[in-house]
Chain A
Amino acid sequence: NAGVTQTPKFRILKIGQSMTLQCTQDMNHNYMYWYRQDPGMGLKLIYYSVGAGITDKGEVPNGYNVSRSTTEDFPLRLELAAPSQTSVYFCASSTAGGGNQPQHFGDGTRLSIL
C-alpha cells in the first residue's frame, strides 16, 4: 500500500542550485499534481498532469518545470533555486478528472533554500 511516494523528505539547497523532486504513485491514477504549502496559505497548485505526456500550469508555475513520461512518475524540477521557493511540496494523484474524485497525497518534501 505505497500510494504516493515522494523523495527526498528533506533538502537544503543553496541559491542558484537546481534539483528534482521525485514523485511516484502505484495506483494507476491518470491525474497527478504538485502543490506547495506555505504557512497560513493553504496549498497552491504548481503544475498538474492529466496523463503521460500531458502537463499544464497551475496557479504558481514560475520557477518550476515538470514532465510526465510514464503514468507512475511526475518529477518537479527547480532550475535556479531562490529563497522564495522555500516551502513544503506535496505531490498528489487522482483517478480520472471530475471534481468528485479525491486526491491522494504523499508525505511531502521539505525544501529550504539558503
Chain B
Amino acid sequence: AQSVTQLDSHVSVSEGTPVLLRCNYSSSYSPSLFWYVQHPNKGLQLLLKYTSAATLVKGINGFEAEFKKSETSFHLTKPSAHMSDAAEYFCVVSPFTGGGNKLTFGTGTQLKVEL
C-alpha cells in the first residue's frame, strides 16, 4: 500500500522569496516520487522525479526536491518565487515495480505568489 500527504493545502509567498511545499509519503516498496504542477484549466505537467538515484533532484523552472528516507519526506523547494509559479502542485508516489504504473496523488498544494 502507498499513500502521500501534502501537509499544506495553501501556501502564500512573496515574489523573490523561497518556496517550500511539503510532502510525506508511505510505501511498502522502494517508491518513485514525482512532483507535478497544474496551472488553471490545464493538465498536469511533470516538474521532477525521484527514482532511487541521487537524493537531491533538480527539475524544471528552478525547482528541486530532496528525498529523505529517514523522514519519509520529499519536499519541493525553489530559492526565489516568480509570479508564474502560482499554480497547484501535486506530490505523487508510485511503486518502483510494475503493476500498471499506478500513481497515488496527494490532495494538492495551492501556491499563491504575491507582489
Contact = CB atoms under 8 A, between A and B. Distances in A.
A107 B32 contact: no
B80 interface: no
A105 B105 contact: no
Contact of B100 (A43, A56, A100, A105): A56
Contacts of A102: 34, 46, 49
6 contacts: A42-B105, A98-B97, A99-B97, A101-B101, A103-B44, A108-B42
Interface of A: 4, 31, 40-45, 48, 50, 56, 58, 90, 92, 94, 97-108
Nearest to A105: B43
Nearest to B106: A42
For the complex of A and B, list the 7 residue pairs with the smallest distance between their C-beta atoms, beginning with the closest.
Answer: A99-B94, A105-B43, A42-B105, A100-B51, A97-B98, A99-B32, A105-B44
Interface size class of B (residues with CB under 8 A): 20 to 34
Given A43-B103, A45-B102, A100-B32, 11 more contacts: A4-B43, A42-B107, A42-B108, A43-B44, A92-B43, A98-B101, A99-B31, A100-B51, A102-B34, A102-B49, A103-B46
A41 B9 CA distance: 11
